[in-house]
């Protein structure tokens, strides 16, 4: 007997008329959740070099403000909620770092401390417990891979079209937008080397070539962990090389061997050797000699590689190691620039250098332990988490590229404690195939 207000179809149980409405509502909720999860990825890519005056001249992009707004919008709209465990870790981190700043040898900056906490606050959020984190994380990573494919295509076009097209049109944001609306102090339109007329690809939208390389390294690791679509791998890999930046290769060098061993992907060894042979044959056409030459930057005092990865250790010799109090408790939040201006060697404000100098060995150790928990407590693939974690060490803390990738791919899609342990053990990457999304199964040629 049919229920009142129900539609009857021969041979099928009556369906309440409210069913379509419920499905529409559910689809709207999923769509809203995906908009929230997509915003961090957009912040890391399409709007990463845009700025609001006067912040652009300070090297601060609009993403630093859009990301907190996206967090608030997600919370107010009912998509995100506070995760109790992550919130406890965040409070522990902020409390101890604040105390260490009081113990620091120099007056600390409240603004610097507030900004440090603000860029990490979104870590405490996750999708609401009634939402399916598996499906949302799959959709989020699929969106990320599609965005990466578009930007990789832009990078390849930039590199090869520069020989026949006015370079201004290949770097439109740098050349046609007012400088006050573009993030400054980055090598956005860089050449291969001193005296070279060949420009490195930045994918049009990325801050500089190194960020393009890191983005595509993460995308390549994600693709290798799921469907292994060879056309996409080729596009990601080629664009990464055309960026002529070693940071992306660092991520690949660490993560790919781990992926091969942990997944028993021995086939990648043979394919990798074939790729290396092909690249050696084409190295002159792709100007790979300049990329290989950059490995010597670690010993060249005025180079970017030295400043980013070596120079800070000389600053520690200069400021910390002969002062036990500073070594343990640091010089105080916001003092890096003060001491960096008097450094004997070129150096950059990298996270490792900044945290050790400002918060000492105690504070830096606590910070990186908390960051590791926030990244690796996610049920997402640990190899993907490692790839994103490495980008944290390669960029400044206030450039929210790494945080944005972590929020969109590792942290927000998962409610953490609400997942069964059995589900966590099965988690892998996301891709078009749901089996590949959830279990890492299936590879496409």
The predicted pLDDT at position 272 comes to 87
3-state per-residue secondary structure call for the chain: CCCCCEEEECCEEEEECHHHHHHHHHHHHHHHHHHHHHHHHHHHCCCCCECCCCHHHHCCCCHHHHHHHHHHHHHHCCCEEECHHHHHHHHHHHHHHHHHHHHCCCCCCHHHHHHHHHHHHHHHEEECCCCCHHHHHHHHHHHHHHHHHHHHHHHHHHHHHCCCCCHHHHCHHHHHCCHHHECCCCCCCCECCCCCCCECCCCCCCCCHHHHHHHHHHHHHHHHCCCCCHHHHHHHHHHHHHCCCHHHHHHHHHHHHHHHHHHCCCHHHHHHHHHHHHHHHHCCCCCHHHHHHHHHHHHCCCCHHHHHHCHHHHHHHHHCCCCHHHHHHCCCCCCHHHHHCCCCCCCCCCHHHHHHHHHHHHHHHHHHHHHHHHHHCCCCCHHHHHHHHHHHHHCCCCCCHHHHHHHHHHHCCCCHHHCCHHHHHHCCCCCCCHHHHHHCCCCCC
Instruction: Give me the residue label for tokens 């992907």.
Output: 265
Cα–Cα nearest to 250, from 390, 392, 404: 390
- State the DSSP code for 123: G
Check if the beta carbon of residue 372 is closer than 8 Å to that of residue 389. Answer: yes
Distances (CA, A) of 124 to 72, 118, 136, 377, 400: 12, 11, 18, 12, 16
Average pLDDT by consecutive 10-residue portion of the chain (445 residues)?
A: 44 46 66 93 97 93 94 94 95 94 87 92 90 85 97 97 95 95 93 89 96 97 90 96 94 95 90 88 84 75 84 94 94 91 88 95 96 92 95 91 95 64 39 39 40
Could you tell me the end-to-end alpha-carbon distance of the chain, in angstroms, rounded to an integer?
Answer: 52
The predicted pLDDT at position 22 comes to 54
Check if the beta carbon of residue 375 is closer than 8 Å to that of residue 385. Answer: yes
Find residue 126's DSSP bridge partners: 81
The predicted pLDDT at position 17 comes to 45
Find residue 50's DSSP bridge partners: 182
Q: 424: burial class by Cβ within 10 Å (0-12, 13-18, 19+)?
A: middle
3-state per-residue secondary structure call for 76-118: HCCCEEECHHHHHHHHHHHHHHHHHHHHCCCCCCHHHHHHHHH
The predicted pLDDT at position 74 comes to 94
The predicted pLDDT at position 286 comes to 85
The alpha carbon dihedral of 356, 120, 407, 39 has a sign of negative
Check if the beta carbon of residue 63 is closer than 8 Å to that of residue 44. Answer: yes
Check if the beta carbon of residue 396 is closer than 8 Å to that of residue 247. Answer: no
CA 380/CA 401 separation, integer angstroms: 19
Check if the beta carbon of residue 433 is closer than 8 Å to that of residue 227. Answer: yes
The predicted pLDDT at position 256 comes to 95
The predicted pLDDT at position 417 comes to 40
Residues written for the chain: 445
Half-sphere exposure of 239 (CA within 13 A, CB side): 32
The predicted pLDDT at position 434 comes to 41
Residue 245 corresponds to which tokens in the numbers above? 């930046």
Half-sphere exposure of 262 (CA within 13 A, CB side): 14
The predicted pLDDT at position 20 comes to 57
């Amino acid at each position: 007997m049919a229920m009142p207000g129900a539609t009857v179809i021969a041979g099928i149980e009556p369906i309440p008329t409210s069913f379509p409405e419920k499905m529409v509502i559910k689809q709207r909720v999923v769509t809203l959740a995906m908009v929230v999860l997509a915003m961090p990825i957009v912040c890391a890519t399409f709007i990463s070099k845009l700025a609001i005056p006067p912040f652009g001249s300070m090297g601060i992009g609009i993403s630093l403000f859009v990301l907190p707004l996206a967090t608030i919008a997600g919370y107010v709209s009912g998509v995100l909620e506070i995760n109790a465990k992550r919130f406890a870790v965040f409070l522990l981190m902020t409390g101890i770092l604040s105390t260490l700043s009081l113990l620091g040898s120099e007056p600390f900056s409240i603004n610097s401390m507030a900004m440090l906490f603000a860029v990490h606050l979104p870590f405490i959020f996750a999708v609401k417990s009634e939402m399916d984190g598996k499906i949302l994380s799959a959709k989020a990573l699929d969106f990320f891979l599609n965005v990466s494919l578009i930007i990789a295509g832009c990078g390849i076009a930039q590199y090869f079209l520069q020989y026949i097209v006015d370079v201004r049109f290949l770097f439109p944001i740098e050349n046609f937008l007012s400088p006050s609306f573009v993030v400054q102090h980055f090598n956005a339109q860089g050449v291969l080397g001193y005296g070279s007329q060949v420009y490195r690809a930045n994918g049009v939208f990325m801050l500089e070539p190194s960020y393009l390389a890191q983005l595509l390294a993460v995308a390549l690791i994600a693709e290798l962990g799921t469907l292994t679509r060879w056309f996409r791998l080729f596009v990601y890999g080629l664009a990464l090389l055309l960026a002529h930046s070693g940071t992306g290769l660092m991520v690949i060098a660490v993560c790919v061997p781990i992926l091969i061993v942990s997944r028993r992907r021995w086939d990648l060894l043979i394919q990798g050797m074939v790729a290396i042979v092909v690249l050696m044959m084409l190295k002159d056409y792709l100007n790979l000699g300049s990329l290989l030459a950059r490995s010597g930057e670690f010993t060249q005092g005025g180079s970017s590689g030295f400043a980013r990865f070596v120079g800070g250790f000389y600053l520690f010799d200069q400021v910390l190691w002969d002062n036990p109090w500073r070594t343990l408790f640091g010089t105080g939040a916001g003092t890096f620039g003060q001491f960096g201006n008097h450094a004997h060697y070129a150096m950059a404000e990298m996270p490792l250098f900044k945290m050790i100098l400002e918060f000492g060995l105690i504070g830096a150790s606590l910070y990186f332990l908390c960051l590791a928990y926030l990244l690796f407590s996610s049920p997402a693939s640990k190899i993907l988490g490692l790839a994103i974690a490495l980008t944290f060490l390669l960029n400044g803390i206030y450039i929210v590229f790494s945080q944005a990738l972590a929020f969109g791919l590792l942290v927000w899609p998962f409610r953490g404690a609400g997942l069964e342990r059995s589900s966590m053990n099965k988690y892998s990457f996301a891709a078009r195939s749901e089996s590949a999304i959830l279990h890492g199964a299936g590879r496409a040629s």
